[in-house]
């Protein structure tokens, strides 16, 4: 059992290193394949019903976690196989390299004052309507997305990998993908996607707060002060309508000494995200600092995951 645990830890380190070095596979990404399969199932079983949506969520996430459980049992007495499977699974579920790449690309476009290209690029990071956003609003949207996705795509997968191994890695990623697919407010998904959205909220309750604490501790690496980051987090973390996004976004706002939040538009629907932080609106330089902070938080999350 000790060997299996050690192999899991080493596999998570190797998977994190693969993500930092290579990023997402260009073709045949397992998460994309899962998304296509989940989309095909949704088209067959959709109904304007919370129970139907809950069954859909349980089936999709259950299959992913079940595959992880089978792999975990099958490699229980085979440490090299456990290491390899865990490394591949961790690489599959993490998104730190892609997040940093998109944040840097947005900063370069904003530095070049290429607002039309930056508006198009924003869709790689979030679902905001960018049609009328200026450079400062684009920088804010990108910085907020870097913060939120640091928790969703790095901290939370590592947390659940540490807690539950392969089922945790794959099951969490499945829930997070389902939330992105059907867990938003719209006439089609208001009821059907309710279970996916709530399950993702529950799965991220602790990781989001751990991510916020990591951002506070890592603030000096992005030119910030932990004390200020702590004060902003404690004051503003609950102002966001999401029980989790506001935690890490407010910590990033305090660590970077910028102001995040405000009114965002999603498909013509306006949503007030509250005001997070006391500083000025972020610019391209702050966006680059948010990428550095995101990478530092990811390393801190990895260290905590493998030190358990």
pLDDT 10s digits, 57-73: 999 999 999 999 999 99
β-strand partners of 265: 270
**How many whole angstroms separate alpha carbon 220 and alpha carbon 30?**
36
CA within 13 Å, CB half, 272: 4
What's the whole-number mean pLDDT along residues 127-156?
A: 93
**Which residue in 272, 33, 246 sits closest to 144, CA to CA?**
246
pTM of the model: 0.94
Q: What's the confidence (pLDDT) of residue 126?
A: 87
Residue with tokens 């088209």: 43
* Residue ranges in 94-127 assigned as alpha helix (H): 96-111, 115-121
Q: What's the confidence (pLDDT) of residue 2?
A: 55
Residue with tokens 């960018």: 130
Q: Where are the domains of the chain?
A: 2-306
Residue with tokens 């679902």: 127
* Average pLDDT of the residues of the chain: 93
272 pLDDT above the threshold of 80: no
What is the dihedral angle through the alpha carbons of 183, 185, 186, 191, rounded to the nearest 10 degrees? 60
103 pLDDT above the threshold of 60: yes
What's the whole-number mean pLDDT along residues 191-215?
A: 97
CA within 13 Å, CB half, 218: 24
**Element (H or E) spanning 226, and its range?**
helix 226-236
Q: Which residue has the higher pLDDT, 126 or 1?
A: 126
pLDDT 10s digits, 143-180: 999 999 999 999 999 999 999 999 999 999 999 999 99
């Amino acid at each position: 059992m000790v060997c299996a645990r050690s192999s899991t830890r080493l596999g998570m380190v190797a998977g994190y290193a693969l993500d930092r070095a290579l990023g997402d596979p260009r073709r045949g990404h397992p998460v994309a394949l899962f998304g296509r399969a989940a989309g095909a199932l949704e088209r067959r079983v959709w109904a304007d019903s919370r129970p139907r949506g809950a069954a859909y969520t349980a089936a999709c996430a259950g299959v992913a976690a079940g595959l992880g459980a089978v792999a975990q049992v099958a490699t229980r007495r085979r440490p090299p196989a456990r290491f390899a499977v865990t490394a591949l699974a961790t690489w599959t579920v993490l998104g730190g390299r892609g997040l940093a790449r998109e944040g840097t690309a947005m900063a370069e476009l904003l530095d070049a004052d290429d607002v039309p290209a930056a508006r198009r690029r924003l869709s790689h990071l979030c679902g905001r309507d960018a049609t009328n956003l200026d450079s400062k609003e684009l920088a804010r949207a990108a910085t907020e997305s870097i913060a939120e996705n640091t928790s969703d795509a790095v901290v939370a997968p590592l947390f659940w990998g540490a807690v539950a191994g392969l089922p945790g890695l794959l099951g969490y990623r499945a829930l997070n993908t389902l939330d992105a697919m059907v867990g938003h407010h719209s006439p089609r998904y208001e009821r059907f996607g309710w279970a996916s959205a709530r399950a993702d909220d529950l799965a991220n309750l602790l990781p989001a707060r751990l991510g916020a604490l990591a951002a506070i501790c890592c603030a000096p690496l992005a030119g910030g002060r932990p004390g200020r980051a702590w004060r902003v987090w404690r004051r503003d973390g609950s102002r966001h309508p999401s029980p989790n996004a506001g935690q890490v976004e407010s910590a990033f706002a305090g660590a970077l000494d910028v102001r995040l939040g405000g009114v965002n538009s999603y498909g013509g629907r306006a949503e007030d995200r509250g005001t997070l932080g006391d500083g000025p609106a972020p610019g391209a330089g702050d966006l680059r600092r948010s990428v550095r902070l995101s990478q530092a938080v990811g390393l801190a999350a990895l260290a905590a995951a493998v030190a358990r």
